[in-house]
Amino acid sequence: MKIFVISLPTSHARRASAASQLHKFGLDFEFFQGVFGSHVLDRYFDGYDEEQFLRNTGRMMCDGEIGCYASHLALWKKCVELDEPIVIMEDDFLLLDAFPESIRQLDRNVHQYGYIRLQEEGRARKLKEKECGNFVLWRFTKAPHGAMCYGISPSVAAVFIEQSNILTAPIDVYVKKFWSHNQPIYGLSPYMVIDSNLCRDTNIKGRKKHKKSLRVQFLRIVTKCDWFFSRLYFNFTQYCLNHRRLHRKRNVNESARLG
Protein backbone atom coordinates (compact mmCIF):
# COMPACT_ATOMS: atom_id res chain seq x y z
CA MET A 1 0.00 0.00 0.00
CA LYS A 2 1.12 3.53 -0.72
CA ILE A 3 1.76 5.54 2.44
CA PHE A 4 1.19 9.30 2.44
CA VAL A 5 2.32 11.47 5.35
CA ILE A 6 0.60 14.85 5.67
CA SER A 7 3.19 17.44 6.68
CA LEU A 8 3.75 21.17 6.33
CA PRO A 9 7.03 22.08 4.58
CA THR A 10 8.05 24.16 7.60
CA SER A 11 7.52 21.30 10.10
CA HIS A 12 11.16 20.20 10.03
CA ALA A 13 11.18 18.29 13.34
CA ARG A 14 8.02 16.39 12.47
CA ARG A 15 9.28 15.51 9.00
CA ALA A 16 12.59 14.28 10.35
CA SER A 17 10.86 12.14 12.97
CA ALA A 18 8.38 10.65 10.48
CA ALA A 19 11.06 9.88 7.89
CA SER A 20 13.39 8.32 10.46
CA GLN A 21 10.72 5.97 11.80
CA LEU A 22 9.41 4.83 8.43
CA HIS A 23 12.90 4.36 7.00
CA LYS A 24 13.81 2.26 10.04
CA PHE A 25 11.12 -0.23 8.98
CA GLY A 26 12.14 -0.06 5.33
CA LEU A 27 8.77 1.35 4.31
CA ASP A 28 8.37 3.55 1.26
CA PHE A 29 6.29 6.67 1.76
CA GLU A 30 5.61 10.07 0.29
CA PHE A 31 5.25 13.38 2.09
CA PHE A 32 2.05 15.14 1.12
CA GLN A 33 2.26 18.91 1.50
CA GLY A 34 -0.33 19.83 4.10
CA VAL A 35 -2.80 22.64 3.50
CA PHE A 36 -2.65 25.55 5.93
CA GLY A 37 -4.83 28.55 6.72
CA SER A 38 -8.40 29.76 6.45
CA HIS A 39 -7.79 31.33 3.02
CA VAL A 40 -8.05 27.90 1.37
CA LEU A 41 -11.71 27.39 2.34
CA ASP A 42 -13.07 28.37 -1.08
CA ARG A 43 -10.48 26.22 -2.87
CA TYR A 44 -11.53 22.95 -1.23
CA PHE A 45 -15.13 23.45 -0.06
CA ASP A 46 -18.34 24.93 -1.41
CA GLY A 47 -19.04 26.59 1.91
CA TYR A 48 -18.94 26.54 5.69
CA ASP A 49 -22.03 25.79 7.81
CA GLU A 50 -21.36 27.69 11.03
CA GLU A 51 -24.51 26.45 12.77
CA GLN A 52 -23.74 22.78 12.07
CA PHE A 53 -20.12 23.23 13.14
CA LEU A 54 -21.36 24.73 16.40
CA ARG A 55 -23.70 21.79 16.92
CA ASN A 56 -20.95 19.29 16.15
CA THR A 57 -18.25 20.84 18.33
CA GLY A 58 -19.77 23.43 20.64
CA ARG A 59 -17.44 26.14 19.32
CA MET A 60 -16.45 28.05 16.22
CA MET A 61 -14.10 26.65 13.60
CA CYS A 62 -10.33 27.14 13.92
CA ASP A 63 -8.26 28.10 10.88
CA GLY A 64 -6.04 25.04 11.22
CA GLU A 65 -9.05 22.72 11.03
CA ILE A 66 -9.79 23.93 7.51
CA GLY A 67 -6.29 23.04 6.34
CA CYS A 68 -6.31 19.70 8.16
CA TYR A 69 -9.63 18.65 6.62
CA ALA A 70 -8.54 19.93 3.20
CA SER A 71 -5.35 17.85 3.40
CA HIS A 72 -7.26 14.63 4.10
CA LEU A 73 -9.83 15.54 1.44
CA ALA A 74 -7.07 15.96 -1.14
CA LEU A 75 -5.69 12.53 -0.28
CA TRP A 76 -9.14 10.94 -0.50
CA LYS A 77 -9.26 12.31 -4.03
CA LYS A 78 -5.79 10.85 -4.62
CA CYS A 79 -7.09 7.46 -3.42
CA VAL A 80 -9.95 7.59 -5.91
CA GLU A 81 -7.59 8.72 -8.68
CA LEU A 82 -5.19 5.83 -7.99
CA ASP A 83 -8.15 3.44 -7.67
CA GLU A 84 -6.45 1.60 -4.83
CA PRO A 85 -6.44 1.77 -1.03
CA ILE A 86 -3.86 4.02 0.60
CA VAL A 87 -2.54 4.75 4.09
CA ILE A 88 -2.93 8.32 5.33
CA MET A 89 -0.81 9.52 8.24
CA GLU A 90 -0.29 12.80 10.07
CA ASP A 91 3.33 13.57 10.86
CA ASP A 92 3.25 13.61 14.70
CA PHE A 93 3.09 9.84 15.18
CA LEU A 94 5.15 7.38 17.16
CA LEU A 95 5.38 3.90 15.63
CA LEU A 96 5.64 0.71 17.67
CA ASP A 97 7.66 -2.34 16.67
CA ALA A 98 4.95 -4.34 14.87
CA PHE A 99 3.87 -1.44 12.63
CA PRO A 100 5.02 -3.17 9.39
CA GLU A 101 2.90 -6.23 10.23
CA SER A 102 -0.12 -4.02 10.95
CA ILE A 103 0.34 -2.48 7.49
CA ARG A 104 0.35 -5.97 5.95
CA GLN A 105 -2.86 -6.87 7.77
CA LEU A 106 -4.36 -3.56 6.75
CA ASP A 107 -3.53 -4.29 3.12
CA ARG A 108 -5.28 -7.67 3.34
CA ASN A 109 -8.48 -6.27 4.83
CA VAL A 110 -9.05 -2.66 3.80
CA HIS A 111 -10.53 -3.63 0.41
CA GLN A 112 -13.39 -5.37 2.23
CA TYR A 113 -13.80 -3.13 5.27
CA GLY A 114 -13.13 0.27 3.74
CA TYR A 115 -11.75 2.30 6.65
CA ILE A 116 -9.39 0.85 9.26
CA ARG A 117 -7.60 2.83 11.97
CA LEU A 118 -4.12 1.89 13.17
CA GLN A 119 -4.05 4.72 15.72
CA GLU A 120 -4.63 4.20 19.45
CA GLU A 121 -8.12 4.95 20.68
CA GLY A 122 -9.74 6.69 23.58
CA ARG A 123 -13.34 6.80 24.84
CA ALA A 124 -14.49 4.33 22.19
CA ARG A 125 -16.63 1.20 22.19
CA LYS A 126 -16.21 -1.67 19.78
CA LEU A 127 -17.16 -5.22 18.81
CA LYS A 128 -14.79 -7.92 17.63
CA GLU A 129 -15.06 -8.53 13.90
CA LYS A 130 -12.35 -11.16 13.38
CA GLU A 131 -8.79 -12.17 14.16
CA CYS A 132 -6.05 -11.17 11.72
CA GLY A 133 -2.91 -13.09 12.66
CA ASN A 134 -1.58 -11.46 15.81
CA PHE A 135 -4.08 -8.63 15.46
CA VAL A 136 -7.80 -8.22 16.01
CA LEU A 137 -10.10 -6.25 13.75
CA TRP A 138 -12.80 -4.34 15.63
CA ARG A 139 -15.89 -2.51 14.45
CA PHE A 140 -16.50 0.63 16.45
CA THR A 141 -19.96 1.07 17.92
CA LYS A 142 -18.75 4.43 19.23
CA ALA A 143 -15.80 5.67 17.21
CA PRO A 144 -12.88 7.58 18.72
CA HIS A 145 -11.47 10.95 17.68
CA GLY A 146 -8.28 11.32 15.69
CA ALA A 147 -7.14 10.80 12.10
CA MET A 148 -3.42 10.21 12.64
CA CYS A 149 -3.18 6.90 10.77
CA TYR A 150 -5.74 4.94 8.79
CA GLY A 151 -6.20 2.96 5.63
CA ILE A 152 -9.01 3.87 3.26
CA SER A 153 -10.44 2.25 0.14
CA PRO A 154 -11.47 4.17 -3.02
CA SER A 155 -15.16 3.41 -2.48
CA VAL A 156 -15.19 4.89 1.04
CA ALA A 157 -13.01 7.80 -0.07
CA ALA A 158 -15.55 8.59 -2.80
CA VAL A 159 -18.38 8.71 -0.25
CA PHE A 160 -16.37 10.99 2.05
CA ILE A 161 -15.54 13.33 -0.86
CA GLU A 162 -19.18 13.59 -1.90
CA GLN A 163 -20.26 14.51 1.64
CA SER A 164 -17.47 17.01 2.28
CA ASN A 165 -18.54 19.81 -0.03
CA ILE A 166 -19.77 21.85 2.96
CA LEU A 167 -17.52 22.09 6.02
CA THR A 168 -19.59 21.18 9.09
CA ALA A 169 -17.05 19.60 11.48
CA PRO A 170 -13.36 18.83 11.93
CA ILE A 171 -12.09 15.85 9.97
CA ASP A 172 -12.14 13.40 12.89
CA VAL A 173 -15.64 14.42 14.01
CA TYR A 174 -16.96 13.89 10.48
CA VAL A 175 -15.37 10.45 10.23
CA LYS A 176 -16.57 9.26 13.65
CA LYS A 177 -20.21 9.94 12.65
CA PHE A 178 -20.56 6.63 10.82
CA TRP A 179 -24.35 6.76 11.15
CA SER A 180 -24.28 9.88 8.98
CA HIS A 181 -22.00 8.73 6.15
CA ASN A 182 -23.07 5.04 6.53
CA GLN A 183 -19.52 3.68 6.43
CA PRO A 184 -18.59 1.45 9.41
CA ILE A 185 -15.31 2.42 11.08
CA TYR A 186 -12.84 -0.30 12.08
CA GLY A 187 -9.68 -0.49 14.14
CA LEU A 188 -6.80 -2.99 14.11
CA SER A 189 -5.31 -3.73 17.51
CA PRO A 190 -2.94 -3.87 19.22
CA TYR A 191 -2.51 -0.36 17.87
CA MET A 192 0.93 0.33 16.46
CA VAL A 193 0.54 4.11 16.12
CA ILE A 194 0.44 6.32 19.19
CA ASP A 195 0.81 10.04 19.90
CA SER A 196 4.36 11.35 20.05
CA ASN A 197 5.57 14.32 22.06
CA LEU A 198 5.24 16.35 18.86
CA CYS A 199 1.46 16.24 19.27
CA ARG A 200 1.74 18.90 21.94
CA ASP A 201 3.03 21.38 19.36
CA THR A 202 -0.11 21.27 17.25
CA ASN A 203 -0.73 23.45 14.22
CA ILE A 204 -4.42 23.67 15.18
CA LYS A 205 -4.91 26.42 17.71
CA GLY A 206 -8.08 27.38 19.56
CA ARG A 207 -9.45 23.91 20.28
CA LYS A 208 -9.24 24.33 24.04
CA LYS A 209 -12.45 23.99 26.04
CA HIS A 210 -14.18 27.22 26.99
CA LYS A 211 -17.38 28.25 28.70
CA LYS A 212 -20.40 27.80 26.43
CA SER A 213 -23.47 29.99 26.33
CA LEU A 214 -26.84 28.51 27.36
CA ARG A 215 -27.85 28.36 23.70
CA VAL A 216 -24.75 26.40 22.72
CA GLN A 217 -25.15 24.08 25.70
CA PHE A 218 -28.73 23.37 24.63
CA LEU A 219 -27.68 22.75 21.02
CA ARG A 220 -24.99 20.33 22.16
CA ILE A 221 -27.43 18.39 24.34
CA VAL A 222 -29.91 18.07 21.47
CA THR A 223 -27.13 17.09 19.04
CA LYS A 224 -25.64 14.47 21.34
CA CYS A 225 -29.08 12.95 21.92
CA ASP A 226 -29.55 12.74 18.15
CA TRP A 227 -26.09 11.15 17.82
CA PHE A 228 -26.91 8.59 20.51
CA PHE A 229 -30.13 7.36 18.90
CA SER A 230 -28.71 7.50 15.35
CA ARG A 231 -25.67 5.53 16.48
CA LEU A 232 -27.92 3.02 18.26
CA TYR A 233 -30.03 2.48 15.14
CA PHE A 234 -26.97 2.11 12.89
CA ASN A 235 -25.38 -0.41 15.24
CA PHE A 236 -28.61 -2.40 15.39
CA THR A 237 -28.81 -2.56 11.58
CA GLN A 238 -25.17 -3.69 11.44
CA TYR A 239 -25.90 -6.39 14.00
CA CYS A 240 -28.83 -7.64 11.90
CA LEU A 241 -26.71 -7.64 8.73
CA ASN A 242 -23.90 -9.58 10.42
CA HIS A 243 -26.38 -12.04 11.90
CA ARG A 244 -27.87 -12.74 8.47
CA ARG A 245 -24.39 -13.21 6.96
CA LEU A 246 -23.44 -15.71 9.65
CA HIS A 247 -26.75 -17.53 9.19
CA ARG A 248 -26.20 -17.82 5.42
CA LYS A 249 -22.61 -18.97 5.96
CA ARG A 250 -23.75 -21.70 8.38
CA ASN A 251 -26.38 -22.85 5.90
CA VAL A 252 -23.80 -23.04 3.09
CA ASN A 253 -21.38 -24.98 5.31
CA GLU A 254 -24.12 -27.35 6.41
CA SER A 255 -25.23 -27.96 2.83
CA ALA A 256 -21.62 -28.66 1.79
CA ARG A 257 -21.22 -31.08 4.69
CA LEU A 258 -24.37 -32.99 3.80
CA GLY A 259 -23.65 -32.69 0.19
Contacts of 161 (CB under 8 A, 6+ apart): 73, 76, 77, 80
Q: What is the pTM of this model?
A: 0.90
CA angle 126/95/148 to nearest 5° reads 55
How far apart, in whole angstroms, are the C-alpha atoms of residue 230 and residue 193? 29
How far apart, in whole angstroms, are the C-alpha atoms of residue 12 and residue 26? 21
Which amino acid, one-letter code, is at 94?
Answer: L
How far apart, in whole angstroms, are the C-alpha atoms of residue 17 and residue 15? 5
pLDDT tens over the chain, length 259 residues: 999 999 999 999 999 999 999 999 999 999 999 998 768 899 999 999 999 999 999 998 988 899 999 999 999 999 999 999 999 999 999 999 999 999 999 999 999 999 999 999 988 999 999 999 999 999 999 999 999 999 999 999 999 999 999 999 999 999 999 999 999 999 999 999 999 988 766 655 555 566 788 999 999 999 999 999 999 999 999 989 887 777 676 766 666 666 6
C-alpha count within 13 angstroms, C-beta hemisphere, residue 230: 13
pLDDT of residue 244: 79
H helix intervals, 93-162: 99-113, 154-162
In CATH, what number does 2-210 get? 3.90.550.10
H helix intervals, the chain: 12-24, 41-44, 50-57, 63-82, 99-113, 154-162, 171-176, 178-181, 214-258
- Tell me the three state secondary structure of residue 228: helix
For residue 201, CA distances in Å to 35, 140, 197 come to: 17, 29, 8
Buried b (16+ CB within 10 A) or exposed e, 34-51: bbbeeebbeebbeeeeee
Count CB-CB contacts under 10 A for residue 87: 23
DSSP-assigned letters across all residues of 54-81: HHHHSSPPPHHHHHHHHHHHHHHHHHHH
Contacts of 136 (CB under 8 A, 6+ apart): 128, 129, 130, 188, 189
Q: Are strands 47-48 and 135-142 parallel, antiparallel or unpaired?
A: unpaired
By the 8 A CB rule, do 111 and 79 touch?
no
pLDDT of residue 256: 62
